[in-house]
A and B are shown apart, each in its own frame.
Chain A
Amino acid sequence: MTVVTAGRIRSELRAMRRRRKPLSFFRRLYDLSDTALYVGMAGGLVTEAVIKTRAVPALSVPPTPHTAASVSWMAVALAVAAVAAFGQALLAVGPIWAGAAAQTWILASPVDRRSALLPTFVRTLVIAGIGGALLAGGLTAIYPPWQVNLPWTATAGFLLAVFLVGFTVDSQARGLVHRVFPVLLGVAVLLGGVVALQLDVPNLALPVRNAPLLAILAVPSIVLGYRALSQLHRGALSAGGDLVQAAAVTSAWLDPSHVSAALVLRRARRIGRVRSVRLRGSRSFAFVLADIARLRRYPAAVAVWAALLPVPFFAAVSLPPIAVGPVQLLAAYLAADRLAGGLRTIAGSAALRRSLGGTDASLKVIHLVLPAVGAIVWCALTSFALPLAPSVTVVISAAGAVLVVYAMATRPPMDYGGGGAIFETGFGAVPVNLIRQLLRGPALLVGLGALQLIAAH
């Protein structure tokens, strides 16, 4: 029997793609320059916004003085939370995954599994490494004392991300369900609690300058991941495919509901069987009980709600006082949104609304109770972090968070069909639906953030 190598199949696939869709060098160059133009425009706009923002006198005011210890604890908390989030995200997509076509046509053949998956592994290492460097760099940007170590921080981010890829590929191959990342998130919240409560604690140091130490961790992890490639079965490789496809549709259609729907479905399949709660009482009471049952079922939602509590306190340590209010608003929205699973489901399903009776408005309002309570409690707990006009700021944050949660959960899905009107701008056509999506989402949040700035000024 002739043994076909993975390399041979890859070169054959490349040749087939070239034959089917021949692209000249100049065409590729044109596509690349097109992308570079848009990236350059976006980068320019961001740079201009940063420069103008830094020039605003109110934003040049230094943060409220804090002890060096609380600053260092915040740094460690952020780093630990970033590692936890990064690792969890890698596990969510695999991190090694294969689409349906690859599974059916390549992985079902007697081609060596490790060789077939090696390019994906290398690609994942590179992308995750760059992502880790950017994430670490981004955290540096909001934490001024780190700026002196930007290259080191980025290097540390790269090496940590590479380490996490190898570690998670090994877990994927062995089918391990890791609690390490949720535990790390819990540790980060505890560390953040020290900052929030301003406890008298000793200074903490991060080994961000110790790249050799991180490299020593990363190299064996890569070897571990490489060895695990041959153990990855098709079931393990298919797990992340639906999520990656949903993410691709989301980015192409600018509609995040695809990813959230895929995540909800995956979570439901993972849980499978639950202990049913006894719903009782009036119609409204039963809906609220069902919403609470959701939280008991998905404690991660409450964990994220709690994990966001230190964020305004971190902002108070690292940002100008006037910026703390908008940060509280953004974090309050993110926290309340975790409790809005019922609202999103009911708003997105006409069939469910039909079967449950009553008016659409009453169904949506009932399902807003839990997110509203969550937003109010969250804002009350974080109000101690607000250095300026705390009473007005906290009211805007709580009401604004509820408003944005409702607006985003109930906005209609993006419609690119014939019914969607097009608005012609000087830079090209923009679907009116897209403008509506922005107005009922990020733009509303930005507007409320501006209101916070005015109130605190």
Chain B
Amino acid sequence: MLRVDGLTRGFSGRLVLHELSFELAPGEGAAVVGPNGSGKTTLLRCVAGTDVPDAGRITLNGFPVSETSPDTRAAMACVLDDVDFFPDLSVGEHLALCALAHGRPADVVEAVLAELGIVEQRDQLPATLSSGQRRRLALASCFVRPRSLLVLDEPEQRLDVEGRAWLASRLNAEKANGGSVLMASHDPDLIEAVADVYIEVGL
């Protein structure tokens, strides 16, 4: 259960988020919506713990969210704007390492590679991937590991039409398995397909 209570965040005197509160239960999907610059990414960063709110409290499964806490890291899988990869490990190795680091066998990698359509890229280094393939790798690194909350910043970015349709069904499957999804998106189809809760910011 993700609980955000009275979240406030501003930059240089400009208030971006003001006393925002919401809850996200297991199996629910939430879409953060609003125009550019309205604070969608700031909200996701605060939830992921990479940004510190000026006021308010964020808890996940009853514990305060902290980016450096092993509990938070074990429960939350994120694709934010700071997504990064080991430059010298192949796509397959990167995903295997993600799985093993979270105590899951590396066998899961092949299925996720196939699901995301990057089987042919298994032995490539991330620097040689296209922007769309990098996006798929970022999503794959969330799916190879256990998690109870997915935090995704515009996950539809750089995915083709087929990829967006797959993403919607994949996120719904995530919800059906008891996971929660918190995402910022500009894609109305994806939002409609996945979101049970709408969090409007900047309005």
Q: Do A and B come from one complex?
A: yes
Seen from chain A, the residues whose Cβ lies within 8 Å of a Cβ on chain B are 264-265, 267-269, 271-283, 286-287, 290, 293-294, 297-298, 341-342, 345, 349-360
What 4 A-B pairs have minimum CB-CB distances, sorted nearest first?
Answer: A268-B127, A286-B100, A351-B84, A349-B84
15 chain-A/chain-B pairs, Cβ below 8 angstroms: A264-B87, A265-B87, A268-B127, A268-B128, A279-B96, A279-B97, A290-B93, A341-B88, A351-B82, A351-B83, A354-B50, A355-B77, A358-B101, A359-B68, A359-B70
Minimal beta-carbon separation of A419 from chain B (angstroms): 13
- Chain B contact-residue range equals 35 or more
Chain A residues, Cβ within 8 Å of B122:
276
Chain A residues, Cβ within 8 Å of B188:
none
- With contacts A278-B106, A350-B67, A354-B78 known, is A283 near B100, CB below 8 A? yes
Across the interface, do B123 and A290 meet the contact criterion of CB distance under 8 Å?
no
- With contacts A280-B100, A350-B50, A355-B141 known, is A290 near B86, CB below 8 A? yes
Chain B residues, Cβ within 8 Å of A353:
68, 73
- The complex places the Cα of A125 from the Cα of B81 at a distance, in Å, of 43
Q: Among B78, B83, B100, which residue has the most Cβ atoms of chain A within 10 A? A: B100
Across the interface, do A274 and B86 meet the contact criterion of CB distance under 8 Å?
no
Across the interface, do A342 and B86 meet the contact criterion of CB distance under 8 Å?
yes
Across the interface, do A276 and B92 meet the contact criterion of CB distance under 8 Å?
yes
Across the interface, do A358 and B100 meet the contact criterion of CB distance under 8 Å?
no
Report if B102 contacts A (CB, 8 A): yes
- The complex places the Cα of A341 from the Cα of B125 at a distance, in Å, of 15
Across the interface, do A290 and B97 meet the contact criterion of CB distance under 8 Å?
yes
- The complex places the Cα of A199 from the Cα of B100 at a distance, in Å, of 49
Chain A residues, Cβ within 8 Å of B98:
355-356
Across the interface, do A294 and B73 meet the contact criterion of CB distance under 8 Å?
no
Chain A residues, Cβ within 8 Å of B145:
355, 357
Across the interface, do B96 and A286 meet the contact criterion of CB distance under 8 Å?
yes
Report if B103 contacts A (CB, 8 A): yes
Report if B169 contacts A (CB, 8 A): no
Instruction: Tell me the nearest residue of chain B to A352, going by C-beta.
Output: B84
- The complex places the Cα of A358 from the Cα of B98 at a distance, in Å, of 12
Chain B residues, Cβ within 8 Å of A279:
93, 96-97, 100, 106
Across the interface, do B97 and A354 meet the contact criterion of CB distance under 8 Å?
no
Across the interface, do B68 and A360 meet the contact criterion of CB distance under 8 Å?
yes
Across the interface, do B125 and A273 meet the contact criterion of CB distance under 8 Å?
yes
Minimal beta-carbon separation of A296 from chain B (angstroms): 10
Report if B30 contacts A (CB, 8 A): no
Chain B residues, Cβ within 8 Å of A293:
89, 93
B48-75 interface mask toward A, CB cutoff 8 Å, 1 = contact, 0 = none?
Answer: 1010000000000000000110100110
Chain A residues, Cβ within 8 Å of B97:
279, 286-287, 290, 356
Other than the known A351-B83, A356-B98, A359-B70, what 8 A-B pairs have Cβ atoms closer than 8 Å? A268-B88, A275-B123, A276-B123, A277-B93, A278-B106, A279-B100, A294-B88, A345-B87
Contact partner of A345 (CB less than 8 A), chosen from B73, B83, B86, is B86
Report if B194 contacts A (CB, 8 A): no
Chain B residues, Cβ within 8 Å of A357:
70, 73-74, 101-102, 145
Report if B90 contacts A (CB, 8 A): yes
Minimal beta-carbon separation of A278 from chain B (angstroms): 7
Contact partner of B123 (CB less than 8 A), chosen from A273, A286, A355, A360, is A273
Chain B residues, Cβ within 8 Å of A277:
93
Instruction: Tell me the nearest residue of chain B to A360, going by C-beta.
Output: B68
Instruction: Tell me the nearest residue of chain A to B127, going by C-beta.
Output: A268
Chain A residues, Cβ within 8 Å of B90:
273-274, 276
- The complex places the Cα of A264 from the Cα of B125 at a distance, in Å, of 11
- The complex places the Cα of A106 from the Cα of B142 at a distance, in Å, of 46
Across the interface, do A273 and B128 meet the contact criterion of CB distance under 8 Å?
yes
- The complex places the Cα of A358 from the Cα of B88 at a distance, in Å, of 21
Instruction: Tell me the nearest residue of chain B to A298, going by C-beta.
Output: B88
Across the interface, do A272 and B93 meet the contact criterion of CB distance under 8 Å?
no
Across the interface, do B102 and A281 meet the contact criterion of CB distance under 8 Å?
no
Minimal beta-carbon separation of B102 from chain A (angstroms): 5
Chain B residues, Cβ within 8 Å of A267:
88
Chain A residues, Cβ within 8 Å of B39:
none
Chain A residues, Cβ within 8 Å of B102:
356-357
- With contacts A272-B124, A276-B123 known, is A358 near B89, CB below 8 A? no
Chain B residues, Cβ within 8 Å of A274:
90, 123-125
